């Protein structure tokens, strides 16, 4: 059992990602459009061309997908919950299977070593301006 599962079973953490299979069954174009609209409104921009998104606590990955659809140059999604990571990877497989602009992995926003490694991702430190979306519960 990994650290995340142990914390969930001790009741110290809510297992957000456990519903990911259900989410994937109900995922449709309307939900993606709604996420795109919400992101455009939040960022006050019509397109994400020239921008990068660091999606901390990406959950299902819906907003990372929306950023890709809005033309982001680069998206990096991470989540502490392996189920959420699997869900995000499934969305990428469905919508952007070929791209290397969208990377996804397990990561903890409270882990300073992990965060400092992210800081060295060249796409996030050079060129495109970076938007960080952190919605960790």
Ligand X SMILES: C[S@@+](CC[C@H](N)C(=O)[O-])C[C@H]1O[C@@H](n2cnc3c(N)ncnc32)[C@H](O)[C@@H]1O
Residue 81 sits in the site that holds ligand X (CB under 6 A): yes
User: Binding residues for ligand X, how many (CB under 6 A)?
Assistant: 19
Please identify the residue of the shown chain whose CB is closest to the bound ligand X: 59
CB 41 within 8 A of CB 32: no
Residue 63 sits in the site that holds ligand X (CB under 6 A): yes
Give the span between the Cα atoms of 14 and 54, in whole angstroms.
Answer: 22
Q: Which residue, 97 or 137, has its beta carbon nearer to ligand X?
A: 137
Helix runs in the chain, H state only: 3-9, 20-26, 29-43, 62-69, 82-95, 112-119, 122-125
Question: 107 is written with which tokens?
Answer: 């990561």
Residue 90 sits in the site that holds ligand X (CB under 6 A): no
- Could you say which of 57, 90, 91, 118 contacts ligand X (CB under 6 A)? 57
Q: Which residue, 74 or 84, has its beta carbon nearer to ligand X?
A: 84
Residue 16 sits in the site that holds ligand X (CB under 6 A): yes
Q: Please name the residues in contact with 116: beta carbons below 8 A apart, sequence gap of 6 or more.
A: none
Phi, psi of 134 (to 5 degrees): -115, 115
Chain positions 35 to 54 lying near ligand X, rule: CB under 6 A, are: none
Question: 110 is written with which tokens?
Answer: 């409270």
CB 102 within 8 A of CB 26: no
Residue 108 sits in the site that holds ligand X (CB under 6 A): yes
Q: How far is the CB of 111 from ligand X (least distance, A)?
A: 8
Residue 84 sits in the site that holds ligand X (CB under 6 A): yes
Interface residue list for ligand X (CB under 6 A): 16-17, 56-60, 62-63, 79-81, 84, 108-110, 135-137
């Amino acid at each position: 059992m990994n650290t995340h599962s142990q914390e969930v079973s001790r009741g110290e953490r809510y297992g957000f990602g456990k519903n990911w299979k259900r989410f994937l069954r109900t995922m449709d174009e309307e939900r993606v459009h709604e996420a795109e609209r919400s992101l455009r409104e939040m960022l006050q921009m019509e397109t994400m061309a020239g921008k990068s998104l660091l999606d901390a606590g990406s959950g299902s990955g819906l907003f990372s997908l929306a950023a890709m659809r809005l033309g982001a140059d680069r998206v990096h999604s991470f989540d502490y919950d392996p189920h959420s990571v699997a869900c995000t990877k499934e969305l990428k497989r469905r919508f952007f299977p070929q791209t290397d602009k969208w990377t996804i992995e397990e990561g903890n926003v409270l882990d300073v070593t992990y965060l400092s490694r992210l800081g060295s991702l060249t796409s996030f430190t050079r060129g495109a301006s970076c938007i960080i979306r952190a919605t960790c519960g």
